[in-house]
Structure formats: C-alpha cells, structure tokens
Amino acid sequence: MRAVIVTDFERDPEVLDVPVPKPAPHEVLVRVEASGLCHTDIHAAHGDWPVKPTLPFTPGHEGVGIVQAVGSAVTEVVIGDRVAMPWFGYGCGTCGYCVDGRETLCESQRDTGYSVDGGLREYSVADARYVVKVPDGVSPLDAAPLTCAGVTTYKAVKVAHVVPAERVAVFGIGGLGHLAVQYARIVGGFVTAVDIHDDKLELARRLGADRTVNAATTDPVAEIQAQGGADVAIVLAASSQVFEQAFRSLRRGGRLICVGLPKAGAFELPIFETVLKGISVIGSIVGTRQDLREVFALHAAGRTEVIAETRDLADIARAMDDVLDGSVPARIVFDFSK
Ligand code: NAD
Ligand code: ZN
Ligand code: ZN
C-alpha cells in the first residue's frame, strides 16, 4: 500500500510502498477513504516542535475510512463502520483527566501521526476505543477536515465560553480558521476574521464573518480596538507575532485562546495589562471524542460547511508547500477513492 513516510526533517516526505499493518487486539484496520492535511503535519514533518516524532513515521490525523478488520478484543465498532482517526489516538482511560472529561490532557496519550503512525496512507490501524464513528450524512471528504480542524476550533470556541453578541476575533483563516468562524457564529458571536490573504477573508465573509481585516495591509490591533476591542481572540496562525496582536486586540475581561503552534514558540505577555484588564490566556488542544461527535452532528444537520480541495497522495510535498504559501482554499484532502 502507499503511505507518506517522513524519513528526515530536512527532506520532503515521500510516498513509499509499505506492508499493510495488522491490527493489535484493541485495534481496527481502516481502509482510508479521505485524509486531510493539517498544518500540524507540516510542523511534524519539519521537526518544528521541542518534542519531535521518531523517524521514520507517517503523519496525518484527519484520516477517515471503513473498518476492514478488527482485533480480537474490539467491541466498539464492527467491520463496515465508517470511522475517523483523530490526533487523540489513545488515552489511559483511568487518570484524572481521562475520567473528568479532559482526556486530551492524559499524560499517557498517543497522538496519531506524531507518536504513532497516522492516516496519510491507504490502510491505517487505530485503537478502536478512540476512533469516532462518522454518521450517515457526513461524507468522508467532509469528515476528514472536521476530524482535526473542526474539533479543534469547536473546542476552542467552547473553552472561550463565547456567549451571544460577544465579539470574537479569529486570527488565521486556514483549515482551522474557516471552521472557527462558523462555530463562533453558531454560538452567537460577532466575528472579525483576520488573515493576510484577501481570498481567505472573502471566504470568511461567505461563511458568516461580520468583519474582516487584512493584516498585511491594515493593523488588526488598531482596527479591532476601533470597534471596541474583542471579547475573545482565537489564534490559529502559525506565527508568534500574531499572538501578540491578538492579545493587544482584546478588551477588558478578554480571553486569548492559543491554538496555533508556531516553531518560534514564545511571545511576550505584558503582566501589567494582563492583570489590570483581567485578561485570561487559555491553551486549547484538539477536542475529546465527544466533542468530535458533536462536530459531526452539527455538520450532519447542515450547520457547517467544509471547504477543501482534493489531491492525490503523490502530491504530498507540493501540498505542504502550498499550505505554507497560503495558496489553498482552507484545507487539502487526499482522496483515496480514485
Ligand atoms: P493553515 O496553514 O491552514 O492556516 C493558517 C492561516 O494563518 C492561513 O490562512 C494563513 O494565511 C494565516 N496567517 C499566516 N500569517 C498570518 C498573519 N500574520 N496574520 C493572520 N493570519 C495569518 O493552518 P491550520 O491547519 O489551520 O493550523 C494552524 C495552526 O494551528 C498550526 O500551527 C497548527 O499546528 C495548529 N494546530 C493546533 C491544534 C491544537 O490542538 N492546538 C490543532 C490543529 C492545528
Ligand atoms: Zn491537526
Ligand atoms: Zn489518562
């Protein structure tokens, strides 16, 4: 079968012919139908972060497909089910975080496409307890971006506790951002979308953003403060400078939601303003299995729209370059059905 393999952080990933994996007792073997390319896969392939994947590995945590075989201990799904294989690929199930609803903080977690091989391949294995069933009414091509971009931004909006008529600034209208705009709208926020490409801002407007700011030509801080400041700023761009802009865009009592994971992983947080303005700084990491079920339910009910371009797996290196250039419409999804 074909699989994307990263062998060297300095070189492009390759598509190689590798054996189909066998499921362990708690695992399923999934025939992948569609698999999205998250910016995180690019960080992984480049070894951008302090904790690096062990080489060689297959990235991908937006894999969706049909269960083809099940391990001897699997009770959660059956052959023929359509499932999603998210970043949160395994948790211990018994620690405090796992049992109190914060399973994505589990210290024993396995992360799909990072600490274990991911979904950018024709067949994938995944722990049956941590895959999420894709309901009828959600196509595999739509389910793929929802499996990370969707659940991550849905969770970001949840942890921000946005209430109707609050002002939400979304920085970065890529794969994650185009869905963040929609979730912020669903909970009743007034949305300002910030990006550096006009076509992404046009898309944000079409998906419900009330205002847009092109940060390449206009200072987003001045623009957002001129409107009274944001109650919530969600950072989805892979740039630490954007975190500073987002912080300075907040009004008193504002919440900065940190989601993007730039290589240069630090920004200056002014203590005086944080304290006097009562600002909260919140990190948000993907979402739980239940969050993903809710994301699928919203999509099946027609509340969200996924914007993606399909490509063949052979195009992986160029696809990564195109995401970095910002020249793709929201998400790239590899379509395995052809
Ligand atoms: P993406 O490349 O699709 O989107 C990034 C967007 O940011 C693009 O539209 C780009 O034009 C825009 N941008 C770049 N510079 C900007 C600037 N100066 N101001 C405003 N916008 C700017 O990436 P993505 O897949 O949406 O992922 C975004 C980030 O989120 C990545 O760092 C990724 O690793 C991270 N991520 C985090 C989590 C999490 O759980 N915390 C989950 C998934 C992805
Ligand atoms: Zn992701
Ligand atoms: Zn745990």
Atom of ligand 1 nearest to the CA of 238: 32
Nearest CA to ligand 1 atom 18: 242
In a domain, 94, yes or no: yes
In a domain, 154, yes or no: yes
Q: Is the CB of 293 under 6 A from ligand 1?
A: no
> Which of 37, 40, 42 has the most ligand 1 atoms within 8 A of CB, as the residue to mutate?
40
Domain CATH for 215: 3.40.50.720
Do 122 and 155 reside in the same domain of the chain?
A: no
Q: Is the CB of 104 under 6 A from ligand 1?
A: no
In a domain, 299, yes or no: no
DSSP 204-240: HHHTT-SEEEETTTS-HHHHHHHTT-EEEEEE-SS-H
Q: What is the pLDDT of residue 106?
A: 98
In a domain, 16, yes or no: yes
Half-sphere exposure of 120 (CA within 13 A, CB side): 36
Atom of ligand 1 nearest to the CA of 200: 9
Q: Tell me: pLDDT of 174 over 90.
A: yes
State pLDDT tens for residues 195-247.
999 999 999 999 999 999 999 999 999 999 999 999 999 999 999 999 999 99
Range of the domain at 40: 2-133+307-335
Give the Å distance between the CA of 273 and the centre of ligand 2. Answer: 32
Q: Is the CB of 326 under 6 A from ligand 1?
A: yes
Domain CATH for 87: 3.90.180.10
Q: Is the CB of 286 under 6 A from ligand 1?
A: yes
Do 71 and 104 reside in the same domain of the chain?
A: yes
Do 269 and 220 reside in the same domain of the chain?
A: yes
Q: Which ligand is nearest to the CA of 85?
A: 2
Q: What burial letters (b/e) apply to 110-127, b meaning 16+ CB within 10 Å? A: bbbbbebbbbbbbbbbbb
Q: Is the CB of 259 under 6 A from ligand 1?
A: yes
Nearest CA to ligand 1 atom 31: 260
Q: Tell me: pLDDT of 132 over 80.
A: yes
Do 25 and 88 reside in the same domain of the chain?
A: yes
In a domain, 42, yes or no: yes
Domain boundary among 267, 283, 299: 283
Give the Å distance between the CA of 60 and the centre of ligand 3. Answer: 22
Q: Tokens 């912080």 map to which residue?
A: 247
Q: Is the CB of 201 under 6 A from ligand 1?
A: no
Q: Is the CB of 159 under 6 A from ligand 1?
A: no
In a domain, 217, yes or no: yes
Q: Any idea how long the chain is?
A: 338
Do 173 and 109 reside in the same domain of the chain?
A: no
Q: What is the pLDDT of residue 338?
A: 75
State pLDDT tens for residues 265-301.
899 999 999 999 999 999 999 999 999 999 999 999 9
Amino acid at 178: H
Beta strands in the chain (DSSP E): 2-5, 14-17, 27-37, 62-70, 82-86, 88-90, 110-111, 123-127, 132-133, 167-171, 190-195, 211-214, 230-235, 250-258, 280-283, 308-311, 331-335
Give CA–CA dist 27/15, Å, rounded: 24
Q: Is the CB of 43 under 6 A from ligand 1?
A: yes
Q: Which ligand is nearest to the CA of 259?
A: 1
Do 195 and 110 reside in the same domain of the chain?
A: no
Residue 264's pLDDT band (boundaries 50, 70, 90)? confident
Q: What is the pLDDT of residue 37?
A: 98
Neighbours of ion ligand 2 (CB under 5 A): 38, 40, 148
Q: Which ligand is nearest to the CA of 196?
A: 1
Q: What is the pLDDT of residue 265?
A: 86
Instruction: Name residue 133's beta-bridge partners.
Output: 83
Q: Is the CB of 242 under 6 A from ligand 1?
A: yes
Do 227 and 103 reside in the same domain of the chain?
A: no
In a domain, 298, yes or no: no
Do 108 and 47 reside in the same domain of the chain?
A: yes
In a domain, 269, yes or no: yes
Token code pair at residue 83 = 């499932």
Nearest CA to ligand 1 atom 27: 39
Nearest CA to ligand 1 atom 8: 174
Do 7 and 129 reside in the same domain of the chain?
A: yes
Q: Tell me: pLDDT of 320 over 90.
A: yes
In angstroms, how far is CA 75 from the centroid of its own chain?
Answer: 28
How many domains does the chain divide into? 2
| CB-based contact 84:135 (threshold 8 Å) | no
**Helices and strands (H and E) in the chain: how many:** 11, 17
Do 225 and 190 reside in the same domain of the chain?
A: yes
Query: Residue range 246-263: average pLDDT?
Result: 98
Give CA–CA dist 225/302, Å, rounded: 34
Do 61 and 182 reside in the same domain of the chain?
A: no
Give CA–CA dist 231/116, Å, rounded: 38
State pLDDT tens for residues 66-105.
999 999 999 999 999 999 999 999 999 999 999 999 999 9
State pLDDT tens for residues 11-26.
999 999 999 999 999 9
